[in-house]
Amino acid sequence: MKRLAGKVALVTGGGAGLGRGMADRFCAEGASVAILEIKPDITHDFERANTAQGYEALGIVGNVTQPESVRAAVAQCISRWGRLDALVNNAGVTGASHADLVDLDLSDWNRVLEVNLTGALICTQHAAPAIRDAGGGSIINMTSISARTTYPSRGAYSVSKAALESLTLQASIELAKWKIRVNSMSLGWFRTALNEDTYQIPGELAKRNLTVPIGRIGTLEDCANLAVFLAGDESTYLTGESIELDGGLIAAALKSTGLLARIRPVTE
Ligand SMILES: NC(=O)c1ccc[n+]([C@@H]2O[C@H](COP(=O)([O-])OP(=O)(O)OC[C@H]3O[C@@H](n4cnc5c(N)ncnc54)[C@H](O)[C@@H]3O)[C@@H](O)[C@H]2O)c1
């Protein structure tokens, strides 16, 4: 039995990178999957490629920051498949400006928060009633370890992800009455178009692989594995959590600050 058989999922920004990895995997696990994606070519490619494999896939071109676009996407899921069980708030941007906060262009700050935070709120507002009508389900917010650390010269991104973690908590309590679980996947280092400029720096990939305690950066499969667990019925008692999918990066950072040593019992 496939792990998401009978479920309907909406993945935002599902045309590329981690979103595409999750959307493809959801299809392979038996779900009917729609993506809401701003770039038309990759939106159509998702639908074409998965339909060709006999999966139920729908590519919807739209923008998570526009309520009408999101409303229409949820309506399309309901009209085609009659229900919605899971939403992945994955669409995200880092911002164009590489500047510290004091020099940050306000329009860039606003855009990052609009997509990463307000977009997730808008999608939650429109998807939650539909998930409630299906008897409950799951909302997954894609956050980042930069919510707990920093992202050099990309402060708006870190702040947006920290706020999204807070949105996860708030929504998890408010939506529990509808049996909707809301969790964050707090990701470490993955290589996608979002950060390809970083991986173009000679030696950067090798350096990162050495830094991650598990010995490598994450893969699309690592990300999709956790998303399937959170979207499916194996996680029905899990809500309001932020799960660090980072190969041990945050654990190592905490250890190196001595924080763990301080909170461990002295007898250890
Ligand atoms: N790649 C990493 O290392 C990493 C680490 C931590 C968190 N994340 C988070 O994971 C998520 C996916 O990241 P990725 O690395 O796959 O990025 P990506 O740039 O490869 O993919 C993001 C997708 O979102 C789409 N998108 C952007 N704005 C949109 C909008 N307004 N409406 C609809 N679609 C929109 C893009 O077109 C793109 O297809 C993001 O939220 C990102 O912040 C990524």
Range(s) of the domain holding residue 76: 8-200+219-247
Does ligand 1 lie within 6 Å of residue 33's CB atom? Answer: no
Give me the pLDDT at residue 254, please.
83
Q: What is the pLDDT of residues 188-204, one digit of tens each?
A: 999 999 999 999 999 99
Mean pLDDT score of the chain: 95
- 97 belongs to a structural domain: yes
H or E element that contains 140: strand 137-144
- 96 belongs to a structural domain: yes
Contact (CB, 8 A) for 176 and 266:
no
H or E element that contains 184: strand 180-187
- 91 belongs to a structural domain: yes
Q: What is the mean pLDDT of residues 14-33?
A: 98
- 264 belongs to a structural domain: no
Percentage of the chain modeled with pLDDT above 70: 96
- 256 belongs to a structural domain: no
CATH number at residue 168: 3.40.50.720
Does ligand 1 lie within 6 Å of residue 35's CB atom? Answer: no
Bridge partner residues of 32 (DSSP): 8
Taking the whole predicted model, whether its pTM rises above 0.85 is answered as yes
- 168 belongs to a structural domain: yes
Strands 86-89 and 137-144: parallel
Q: Is the pLDDT of residue 262 over 70?
A: no
Query: Residue 26 contacts by C-beta under 8 Å, 6 or more apart in sequence?
Result: 4, 7, 9, 11, 33, 86, 224, 227, 228, 231
CA–CA distance, 134 with 137 (Å, rounded to integer): 8
Query: Which residues are known catalytic residues?
Result: 157
Cα–Cα distances (Å) from 55 to 3, 139, 153, 223, 252, in that order, read 14, 22, 41, 20, 40
> Tokens at residue 67, please?
């309520």
Give me the pLDDT at residue 266, please.
46
In the reported structure, the alpha carbon of residue 143 is separated from the centroid of ligand 1 by a whole-number distance in angstroms of 10
- Give the atom of ligand 1 at the shortest distance from the alpha carbon of 15: 39
Q: What is the mean pLDDT of residues 20-25?
A: 98
Q: What is the pLDDT of residues 32-47, one digit of tens each?
A: 999 999 999 999 999 9
Give me the pLDDT at residue 260, please.
55
- 211 belongs to a structural domain: no
CA–CA distance, 65 with 146 (Å, rounded to integer): 22
The count of structural domains within the chain is 1
Q: What is the pLDDT of residues 233-256, one digit of tens each?
A: 999 999 999 999 999 999 998 878
- 81 belongs to a structural domain: yes
